[in-house]
Chains A and B, each alone.
Chain A
Amino acid sequence: GAVVSQHPSWVICKSGTSVKIECRSLDFQATTMFWYRQFPKQSLMLMATSNEGSKATHEQGVEKDKFLINHASLTLSTLTVTSAHPEDSSFYICSATTTGGGGYEQYFGPGTRLTVT
């Protein structure tokens, strides 16, 4: 089956620094990638949608200048949390889909646990 990886799996950073998280589709080309955030005991919240070579579309309430997304190729998307603060500590999950249409599933990465101290 299609595999999506994330790197790193966990990261600790100091308040005010930036952190980059990578999401790769290992055995397929992803036309669209998504980024989610999940706080403890809560559901996944969609942050943004990105298509290769295009600007990402951030969901309402998600600051695009704070959560920078780059989707430079069909197999790689990156999320950069700029000037991270403790409230940004969360579980970040990416997903990828091979084609458009509601009949196609998304393949999720294993997640990245970010802790900001």
Chain B
Amino acid sequence: DAKTTQPNSMESNEEEPVHLPCNHSTISGTDYIHWYRQLPSQGPEYVIHGLTSNVNNRMASLAIAEDRKSSTLILHRATLRDAAVYYCILNRVSGTYKYIFGTGTRLKVLA
């Protein structure tokens, strides 16, 4: 399974945009890029996913590099409730569809 690399931690001020990067240089053509976040003592929560094109939803935007070797999760206006660990995961189109979690990025939002 392809691996992802994320910074261990990031900080952002409240109400400012946050760009969370993820490197996945060994991504294959059939791997989707999924993002989840996890609050303390809770299960992960789905944020967004994409394959090749940039994606937007009510929570965030996902920008995917043209060569697909990296992606960026964008939170347009960080709030205190966005403080969490964010995981970038690759999920293959065919096969077992299992997730291999990396270390994730711990986002701290400053009031």
Residues of A participating in the B interface, judged by any CB pair closer than 8 Å: 4, 6, 32, 34, 36, 43-46, 49, 57, 91, 93, 95, 97, 100-111, 113
Q: A45-B101, A46-B100 are in contact. Are A103 and B93 (CB under 8 A)?
A: yes
Binds A, one of B16-24, B41-49, B62-70: B41-49
Pair A91/B45 contact, Cβ less than 8 Å? no
Interface of B is mostly: loop
A-B contact sample (6 more), CB < 8 A, given A49-B98, A93-B44, A105-B49? A32-B96, A43-B102, A44-B38, A93-B43, A103-B51, A105-B34
> Which residue in B38, B42, B92, B101 is a CB contact (below 8 Å) of A102?
B92
A108 vs B36: C-alpha distance in the bound complex, in angstroms?
10
Question: B97's contact among A93, A100, A109, by CB below 8 Å, is which?
Answer: A100
Size category of the binding interface on chain B: 20 to 34
Contact of B99 with A101 in the complex, beta carbons under 8 Å: no
On whether the beta carbons of B41 and A102 are closer than 8 Å, the reply is no
Contacts of B62-111 to chain A: CB distance below 8 A: 87, 90-94, 96-104
